[in-house]
């Protein structure tokens, strides 16, 4: 499939609530694409997926995204059940991040993910030290994201292409282990009174900073 041949960018266009059964939507066309899911063809497709993936099986969607995933990994520390992880996963999916790494507790609150985790590679690491070791073995540079003293402004930092951006939790921020072992820590410039911004928002800003530096925009929807 050639991506640029696809119709609209997202499901938020005209067909906000998805599409009905294939024979209602496309009465004159055969539904003979092997990527199609018979159940979705029969009942319609109301999932949170771009229009190009309507009626596709989940595995077919994941395989297609796999052909253009970025060398960007995301990690979030989850020692206290951070409710923002779902938001981070959803944004990581939007930017075709390679893998989202959950550090600490294995269980995380999926609500904000809006089911996007089904199309995203996820990996669990019991501790930050184990995540760091994994990154070393994979030759991936870890950049912690937090507004701690001595951090480098994200706005002017050159992010490595093969990169893992690591985020902390709402209360404590990035753990000491993480900031000690990361190649650098980058902060997002703030100008108001709040000590920090929401980690889901910070993750979106940092991922987009990487996208601006390294992504091939001709491959975006
Ligand atoms: C709500 S913050 C809490 C920690 C913060 N260091 C503090 O002093 O309150 C949770 C996480 O969001 C991210 N974050 C929030 N604001 C940020 C900023 N201005 N720059 C970089 N990261 C930020 C970091 O990953 C941080 O660990």
Residue 199, ligand 1, Cβ within 6 A: yes
Residue numbers of the domain that contains 207: 72-219
Residue 196, ligand 1, Cβ within 6 A: yes
Domain boundary at 12, 31, 66, which?
66
Query: 96 phi and psi, to 5 degrees?
Result: 50, 50
149 and 189 inside one domain: yes
77 and 37 inside one domain: no
**How many domains, the chain?**
2
At 141-176, the pLDDT tens digits run 999 999 999 999 999 999 999 999 999 998 889 999
Which residue, among 80, 146, 86, 174, has the nearest Cα to 122 in the 3D structure?
Answer: 86
CA of 168 to the centre of ligand 1 (A): 7
Prediction pTM value: 0.91
Atom 22 in ligand 1: residue holding the nearest Cα? 146
At 178-213, the pLDDT tens digits run 999 999 999 999 999 999 999 999 999 999 999 999
Residue 159, ligand 1, Cβ within 6 A: no
133/4 Cα distance (integer angstroms): 39
Q: Listing from the earlier edge strand, what are the strands of the sheet with 99-104?
A: 121-125, 99-104, 72-78, 163-167, 141-145, 184-187, 152-153
CA of 171 to the centre of ligand 1 (A): 9
Distances (CA, A) of 17 to 51, 52, 60, 144: 11, 15, 21, 38
Domain boundary at 66, 93, 124, which?
66
93 and 158 inside one domain: yes
99 and 156 inside one domain: yes
């Amino acid at each position: 499939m050639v991506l640029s041949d696809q119709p609209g960018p997202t499901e938020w266009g005209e067909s906000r609530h998805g599409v009905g059964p294939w024979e209602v939507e496309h009465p004159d066309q055969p539904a003979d694409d092997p990527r199609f899911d018979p159940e979705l063809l029969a009942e319609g497709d109301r999932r949170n997926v771009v229009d190009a993936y309507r009626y596709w099986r989940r595995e077919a969607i994941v395989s297609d995204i796999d052909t253009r995933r970025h060398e960007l990994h995301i990690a979030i520390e989850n020692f206290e059940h951070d409710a923002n992880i779902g938001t981070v996963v959803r944004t990581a999916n939007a930017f075709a991040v390679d893998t989202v790494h959950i550090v600490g507790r294995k269980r995380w609150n999926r609500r904000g993910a809006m089911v996007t985790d089904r199309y995203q590679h996820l990996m669990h690491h019991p501790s930050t030290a184990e995540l760091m070791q994994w990154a070393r073995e994979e030759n991936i540079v870890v950049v912690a994201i937090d507004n701690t003293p001595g951090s480098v402004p994200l706005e002017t930092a050159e992010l490595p292409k093969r990169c893992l951006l690591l985020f902390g939790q709402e209360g404590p921020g990035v753990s000491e282990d993480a900031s000690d072992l990361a190649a650098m820590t980058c902060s997002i410039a703030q100008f108001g009174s709040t000590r920090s911004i929401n980690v889901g928002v910070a993750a979106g800003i940092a991922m987009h900073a990487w996208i601006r530096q390294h992504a091939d925009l001709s491959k975006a929807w």
